[in-house]
Amino acid sequence: MLDVRRLRLLCDLSRLGTIAAVAAAHTYTPSAVSQQLSALEREAGVPLLERTGRRVRLTAAGRILVRHGAGVLAALEGADAALAAVAAGLTGPLRIGAFPTAVRALLPATLVALAGAHPGLELMVTELDPVDVPAAVREGRLDVGLVNDYDLVPAAPDPALETVPLLDETVFLAVPESFGTVALADLRDAAWVLASPGTLCHAVTVQVCRGAGFAPRGRHRADDFATVLALVAAGFGVSIVPQLAVAGRPCGVRLAPLSTRRRTRIAYRRGAAAHPAVAAFVAAIRAAV
């Protein structure tokens, strides 16, 4: 019989690529992960990994087991959901992850509704960059999370997760009010407020500007949209912000809608859609939106 926890490690190795990355995701040592994978090979009775120097890759048998493993893990989530559905009332922790604008704009009303309808739930919120939410849900650190992407920078499907649509937002060009009415192409030489490289917000800004025929000249770095808008209002740059971020914006900011859209989805582990706590969260946040 194959050990499910070891099978999860093999699936994570297929996704993350290195034993070190798997160890970091599970707060294990690389040696412990290697030992668990070796034990899984003994259980399977066939080699699952090929070792080349300090790196490993999956064998044909390993790839087959990963494909089946995704279904096994989803089935276990489904079994957990079915057991929770026959329990009397919703109790226990519900770990929710979301990016900052969603935490501010969407979660307060959602949490109030959930707490009122299901007082036995222990609601726990973690604010994360949207690129970090999928891994936290996959690895069981979150039960449900909000993820987003942009039509210009779409997210690749994750076989370990299911998602359902929540919100489709307008994306705005934000400029100081003193600029008057401007088009994106007019800002080729402007100072830009950019998010940190490697973030989704940085990538979409670069793509939007590239579509207008130029690369943005980043002068300031800020990941919080309130900071971004404060810099714009003070006349220190221009930026791109989604609709959720512009509520309560400071005076001195002019907004122009762009054709780009930001899309927010609710994510949970495959097989968990029928879990009563997950279903209650989905219903509550959709009502809040």
In angstroms, the Cα distances linking 92 to 47, 113, 124, 143, 264 are 40, 17, 10, 12, 26
Residue type (1 letter), 243: Q
Going from the N-terminus, what domains does the chain have, and what CATH number goes with each?
A: 4-84 (1.10.10.10), 169-263 (3.40.190.10)
Return d(Cα 95, Cα 123) in angstroms, integer: 6
Phi-psi region of 50 (alpha: psi -120 to 50; beta: other; left: phi over 0): beta
Interval 237-253: pLDDT, tens: 999 999 999 988 899 99
Q: 222, 238 in Cβ contact below 8 A? A: no
Q: For residue 271, what are the contacts with CB-CB under 8 A and spacing of at least 6?
A: 73, 74, 75, 76, 77, 78, 80, 81, 162
pLDDT over 70 at 88, yes or no: no
Q: What is the DSSP string of 21-55?
A: HHHHHHT--HHHHHHHHHHHHHHHTS--EEEETTE
Whole-number pLDDT of residue 148: 92
Residue type (1 letter), 39: A
Whole-number pLDDT of residue 82: 64
Q: How many CB atoms lie within 10 A of CB 262?
A: 26
Whole-number pLDDT of residue 57: 85
Q: Is 91 exposed, middle or buried (CB count within 10 Å of its CB: 0-12, 13-18, 19+)? A: middle
pTM here?
A: 0.75
Q: 9, 29 in Cβ contact below 8 A? A: no
* Structure confidence at residue 20 as a pLDDT band (50, 70, 90): confident
Q: 87, 99 in Cβ contact below 8 A? A: no
Whole-number pLDDT of residue 197: 92
| Nearest CA-CA partner of 281 in 130, 129, 166 | 166
| Nearest CA-CA partner of 258 in 185, 155, 180, 177 | 185
Return d(Cα 222, Cα 230) in angstroms, integer: 10
Interval 34-49: pLDDT, tens: 888 888 888 888 888 8
| Nearest CA-CA partner of 59 in 112, 10, 102, 122 | 10
